[in-house]
């Protein structure tokens, strides 16, 4: 275990993707398969949040996240991309490291959206 919400199974290295939507889709599939969550629900949560503004934070890093009503504990995924992609971050640097977090809607006071 790397952290309380990130284990070895949650890490994906050298993911091949064509862009932000493709990356989020592949990450959502991976999370859904590992956790048993509905793939479309995970993807919708990530896309809905991304529509509010890019979760790219700069220096090649993005932290896409979503609040979900169907989970009782946090879920995380760390993905290193094979090639950097545009994530519309504040510094316009392409992203190659994506830390995805799904948080229970019931615990929003402990979450920083």
| Residue of 73 and 95 predicted with greater confidence | 95
Distance CA 89, CA 111 (A): 21
pLDDT at residue 25 tops 90: yes
- Give the 3-state secondary structure of 45-106: HHHHHHHHCCCEEECCEECCEEEECCCCCCEEEEEEEEEEECCCCCCCCCEEEEEEEEEEHH
Element (H, E) at 27: helix 20-35
Q: pTM score, two decimals?
A: 0.91
**Residue 109: per-residue pLDDT:** 64
Please give the biggest Cα pair distance in the chain: 36
Query: What domains appear along the chain, each with residue ranges and CATH number?
Result: 8-106 (3.40.930.10)
27-71 pLDDT, tens digit each: 999 999 999 999 999 999 999 999 999 999 999 999 999 999 999
**59 is an active site residue:** no
Q: Which of 20, 26, 30, 65 is catalytic?
A: 65
Q: Are 39 and 87 in contact (CB under 8 A)?
A: no
């Amino acid at each position: 275990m790397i952290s309380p919400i990130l284990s070895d199974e949650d890490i994906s290295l050298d993911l091949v993707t064509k862009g932000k939507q493709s990356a989020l889709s592949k990450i959502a599939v991976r999370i859904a398969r590992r956790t048993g969550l509905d793939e479309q629900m995970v993807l919708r949560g990530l896309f809905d949040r991304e529509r509010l503004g890019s979760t790219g934070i700069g220096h090649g890093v993005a932290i896409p996240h979503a609040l979900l009503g169907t989970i009782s504990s946090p879920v995380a995924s760390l993905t290193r991309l094979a090639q950097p992609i545009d994530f519309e971050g504040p510094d316009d640097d392409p992203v190659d490291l994506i830390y995805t977090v799904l948080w229970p809607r019931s615990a929003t006071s402990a979450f920083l959206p």
